[in-house]
A and B are shown apart, each in its own frame.
Chain A
């Protein structure tokens, strides 16, 4: 990140703090006021746990994968491959809950997940990597001496 980013905490900041934390407090009250429904301990475990899993597991793994890609991928392909991996990994992450226990869910309700999400992922990833391949091919052809 930039070292030139301004660090200003004026009236707008403090107004935002007051208004924002009032709204946050209302949300916390909603959690605390209906414990049979919100299960505050379980709520907090997911709320904090998801942030920790992201910051301490997911982000470092993605950083490492990006660094490895920069070292090993051919220069002309690295950028497009990285973009393809960004799209692919996000599509896969989205589809995992659809895929989990699909057989049981569709047996109980045949109109649910009538299309196999694995097939959907394959379709989206195929299209993504066709685009990536086209971009790489264009760069290879464009880099040849004329």
Chain B
């Protein structure tokens, strides 16, 4: 112990507020309970971080990263896991913070340099964890009480939080091992004999926390897994509800494209690294060879729904313009604002025969909210990268 720590330790704790001896009398504030919750959170936060990082890499690919076009629903799985695991983390985090809350008021507040580092590292851990879950739920609920860009802030906070989690695991690994091994109850004061009969036992508390996580999962996962959609009473989306049977993330009205999208003078421009630049009307597109495919559309918010799409493959379009069929292209919307009005389609996705500019969905012309007159749709792509109301295809 440092000299400073010794001096602090020699001081009697103040007998007020949380420093009263009876302030935290509940036996639920147990190390073993905290260890179980911490272990579960370690798993859920690691899964969230990995799947979130993957989503970021797909949307902002560095030169060393490539995302395959198949399996078609892989992104639906990883992003569904990301959102569902995040939702499951809410009760686990609140229960964990409640369990260890007395430690916030530990006396002496600092015992050594290592103790100082450990305590300082709790701010990025607690603040980051709450920040990620708060902004995550706010985002899927379309509730934005903040000024920052959700993707940029959520991404940065995920690194801060996972770094703090590494520090925390390093600090607690011995405690966790002792607490979770068989007979680990010895690390805590024994529960009162009445626990479980006349008050909530530690096992009951854990059951409630994991039960709440399970309830939230059951009540939301149906937005990703269509067979469970009838149970998704707390999900922001029902994958069966929307124009032409599919949900919509951004409407034509909110994108400000109604006039431009319904203008008879609409043209799709194909240019860039091509032998024959083209300017195609909707009828021109309809007269080209049409291709049909069942493809999922997956939103970064976690919902996923499939439809039968029909249109012109990007590969055919490139061949018609005299470009290599495996070139990379940049697809732009007629939207004049919004961070997702452009998307890059990698060579692997262009080469896939199911990557197309869709003109129809489920046997009908595309609904305006689904991207009329034409939208990009392809296998294994985030919804925000399936650009709607396409006005330009630039070959690179």
Question: A145: CB under 8 A from chain B?
Answer: no
- Report how many A-B pairs have Cβ atoms within 8 Å: 267
Question: B280: CB under 8 A from chain A?
Answer: no
Tell whether, in the assembled complex, residue B212 and residue A91 are in contact, meaning their CB atoms are under 8 Å apart.
yes
CB distance from B54 to the nearest CB of A (A): 17
Tell whether, in the assembled complex, residue A1 and residue B208 are in contact, meaning their CB atoms are under 8 Å apart.
no
Tell whether, in the assembled complex, residue A105 and residue B147 are in contact, meaning their CB atoms are under 8 Å apart.
no
Q: Of A2, A20, A38, which contacts B170 at CB under 8 A?
A: A20
Tell whether, in the assembled complex, residue A101 and residue B209 are in contact, meaning their CB atoms are under 8 Å apart.
no
Tell whether, in the assembled complex, residue B201 and residue A79 are in contact, meaning their CB atoms are under 8 Å apart.
yes
Alpha-carbon distance A121/B219, docked complex (angstroms)? 9
Tell whether, in the assembled complex, residue A86 and residue B212 are in contact, meaning their CB atoms are under 8 Å apart.
yes
A22 contacts which chain B residues (CB < 8 A)? Answer: 163
Tell whether, in the assembled complex, residue A1 and residue B29 are in contact, meaning their CB atoms are under 8 Å apart.
yes
Question: B319: CB under 8 A from chain A?
Answer: no
Tell whether, in the assembled complex, residue A54 and residue B126 are in contact, meaning their CB atoms are under 8 Å apart.
yes
B interface bracket (residues with beta carbon within 8 Å of A): 35 or more
Tell whether, in the assembled complex, residue A79 and residue B156 are in contact, meaning their CB atoms are under 8 Å apart.
no
Given the known A-B contacts A5-B187, A16-B169, A90-B90, are A54 and B97 also in contact in the complex, defined by CB atoms under 8 Å? yes
CB distance from B304 to the nearest CB of A (A): 14
Given the known A-B contacts A1-B31, A5-B187, A128-B215, are A91 and B201 also in contact in the complex, defined by CB atoms under 8 Å? no
Tell whether, in the assembled complex, residue A100 and residue B171 are in contact, meaning their CB atoms are under 8 Å apart.
no
Tell whether, in the assembled complex, residue B199 and residue A70 are in contact, meaning their CB atoms are under 8 Å apart.
yes
- From B36-44, B238-246, B271-279, B310-318, the one touching the partner chain is B238-246
- From B68-76, B132-140, B283-291, B353-361, the one touching the partner chain is B132-140
CB contacts under 8 Å to B, within A89-119, are: 90-91, 93-95, 97-98, 100-101, 105, 108-115, 117, 119
Tell whether, in the assembled complex, residue B234 and residue A86 are in contact, meaning their CB atoms are under 8 Å apart.
no
B152 contacts which chain A residues (CB < 8 A)? Answer: 30, 34, 37-38
A interface bracket (residues with beta carbon within 8 Å of B): 35 or more
What mask results when residues 173 to 192 of chain B are scored 1 for a CB within 8 Å of chain A, else 0?
11100100000001111000
CB distance from A83 to the nearest CB of B (A): 4
Alpha-carbon distance A2/B204, docked complex (angstroms)? 19
CB distance from A49 to the nearest CB of B (A): 9
Alpha-carbon distance A86/B304, docked complex (angstroms)? 30
Q: Of B104, B131, B167, B188, which contacts A50 at CB under 8 A?
A: B131
Name B's A-contacting residues (CB within 8 A): 24, 26, 29-31, 34, 87, 90-91, 94-95, 97-98, 100-104, 111-112, 114-115, 117-118, 121, 123-124, 126-128, 130-131, 134-135, 137-138, 141-143, 146-149, 152-153, 155-171, 173-175, 178, 186-189, 194-201, 204-205, 207-209, 211-212, 215-216, 219, 232-238, 241-243, 246-251, 253-254
Other contacts beyond A12-B174, A79-B204: 5, CB < 8 A: A6-B174, A20-B165, A54-B130, A63-B101, A123-B233
Name A's B-contacting residues (CB within 8 A): 1-2, 4-9, 12-17, 19-28, 30-31, 34, 37-39, 42-43, 46-48, 50-51, 54-55, 59, 62-63, 66, 70, 75-76, 78-80, 82-84, 86-87, 90-91, 93-95, 97-98, 100-101, 105, 108-115, 117, 119-121, 123-124, 127-128, 139
Q: List 8 interface pairs A-B (beta carbons < 8 Å), by A numbering.
A: A17-B167, A23-B159, A28-B156, A76-B197, A82-B204, A86-B205, A112-B236, A127-B215
The 10 lowest CB-CB distance pairs between A and B, nearest first, are A16-B170, A23-B163, A27-B159, A20-B167, A111-B242, A120-B233, A27-B160, A9-B114, A24-B163, A20-B166
